[in-house]
Structure 1
Amino acid sequence: MTSGSGTSAAVTKPETAKLSKQRLRLWLRLLRATRSVEGELRERLRKDFDATLPRFDVLAALHRCQDGMTMTELSRFLMVSNGNVTGIIDRLVLEGLVVRVPDKKDRRATFVRLTPKGVTAFGEMAEAHEGWVDGLLSEVSAEEAADLISLLSRFNETQRSR
């Protein structure tokens, strides 16, 4: 061979295949870890608060945006359909945790926000949730957590720009 490109291609192809397999293993490990933690959180929310993870997610989103969100904003933020959010909001309204407020500028839109009772209920759940996650990830050091957060943040930025 007179060109180094033939040798380079022969070396690159197996390395590329190996990297591809490694990335697949990474994805499967991430998925398994996520499902494991999520399953445990679902069970604990159900057992300790008679709540679901989607319900917790709705309360968390509303807690972040104290002025309220439209149903469309909430659906987009949670990446679920309006129909999914509507059922959860209906139940939260009946329990007095959330209130619907008409938008003064757009009569077709309605804001939803936490009531004081909702703020208190979510606060209790959020505190327990944080403790559960801390316990479930207790084998991860501060340095490892920082490294993982950095890597996953970079990955998420790359995915958003596609």
Structure 2
Amino acid sequence: MLLIKELPTSESLKKFSGYYPGADIVAIWEFVNILRAASNLSEALDKMLAQHGLLQGRWWVLVLLLREDNLSSSPSELAEKAGVTKATMTGFIDGLEHEGLVSRLTDRKDRRKLKIKLTAAGRQKLDEVMPIYYTNVTTLMSQLSLQHRQDVVRHMQSLGANADIMKNL
């Protein structure tokens, strides 16, 4: 993911509006600020997870497996839930399996079917990381009042639900 490090200045936005007269520079400035905040949050999560030898994608796979009653799922279901390609998921699984955090299990009745299972080591890794994650999220979110957080979430859900507008060219 590309992290936005430098926000546009008011001068650069005015310059762009000269090139593209229909540009709403206030909306653009607000949008890039939202992207910057999301980048900051993602980068902070990456740094926290890296202290525990995890990458964000692999961590999400462990979390998705922990959500399952039997701690297992198919690679295609994991890819769907994570919003990544099957090839990307295979890479995550390969790395996690190499570290002993997940195992691949074949179906006894149909050897073409594969399940990915969270191992004891994978559970231990989550038991190490999740309390820190929860504490950090709680501390971060306490920077806003409960009402403000609820408003932000509602507004972000509205933007997310309409994100397909960005695909229209």
Q: What is the aligned partner in structure 1 of residue 17 from structure 2?
A: none
CA distance in 1 between counterparts of 2:117 and 2:69 reads: 7
Residue 60 of structure 2 corresponds to residue 64 of structure 1:
no
In the alignment, structure 1 segments of 5+ residues that lack a partner are 1-16
CA distance in 1 between counterparts of 2:27 and 2:64 reads: 32
CA distance in 2 between counterparts of 1:26 and 1:137 reads: 21
Could you say if the C-alpha distance between residues 146 and 95 of structure 1 is closer, same or farther in structure 2, counting changes exceeding 3 Å? same
3-state DSSP of counterpart to 2:124: helix
Could you say if the C-alpha distance between residues 95 and 30 of structure 1 is closer, same or farther in structure 2, counting changes exceeding 3 Å? same
2:103 to 74, 99, 103: 99
TM-score, scaled to structure 2: 0.72
Identity percentage over the alignment?
Answer: 26
Q: Deviations over 1:125-155 (max 9, x none)?
A: 1221122223333321111111112222334
Pairwise mapping of residues 124-139 of structure 1 onto structure 2 (< 5 A)?
A: 124-139=128-143
Say whether the 8 Å CA contact 1:100–1:111 is kept in structure 2: yes
Q: Considering only CA atoms, is the larger Rg found in Structure 1 or Structure 2?
A: 1
CA distance in 1 between counterparts of 2:108 and 2:28 reads: 50
Deviating above 6 A after TM superposition, structure 1's stretches of 4 or more consecutive aligned residues are none
Residue 22 of structure 2 corresponds to residue 44 of structure 1:
no
Matched to 1:72, the amino acid is S
CA distance in 2 between counterparts of 1:23 and 1:104 reads: 56
Q: Which moved more, 1:38-47 or 1:132-141?
A: 132-141
CA distance in 1 between counterparts of 2:42 and 2:86 reads: 23
Matched to 2:59, the amino acid is F
TM-score, scaled to structure 1: 0.74
In the alignment, structure 2 segments of 5+ residues that lack a partner are 1-21
Deviation of 1:121 after TM superposition, in Å, equals 1.3
Say whether the 8 Å CA contact 2:141–2:149 is kept in structure 1: no
CA distance in 2 between counterparts of 1:143 and 1:46 reads: 32
Could you say if the C-alpha distance between residues 105 and 30 of structure 1 is closer, same or farther in structure 2, counting changes exceeding 3 Å? farther
1:154 to 151, 158, 164: 158
3-state DSSP of counterpart to 1:107: coil
Deviation of 1:34 after TM superposition, in Å, equals 0.8
Could you say if the C-alpha distance between residues 139 and 66 of structure 1 is closer, same or farther in structure 2, counting changes exceeding 3 Å? same
> How many residues were matched structurally?
144
The structure whose RCO (Cα within 8 Å, separation 6+) is larger is 1
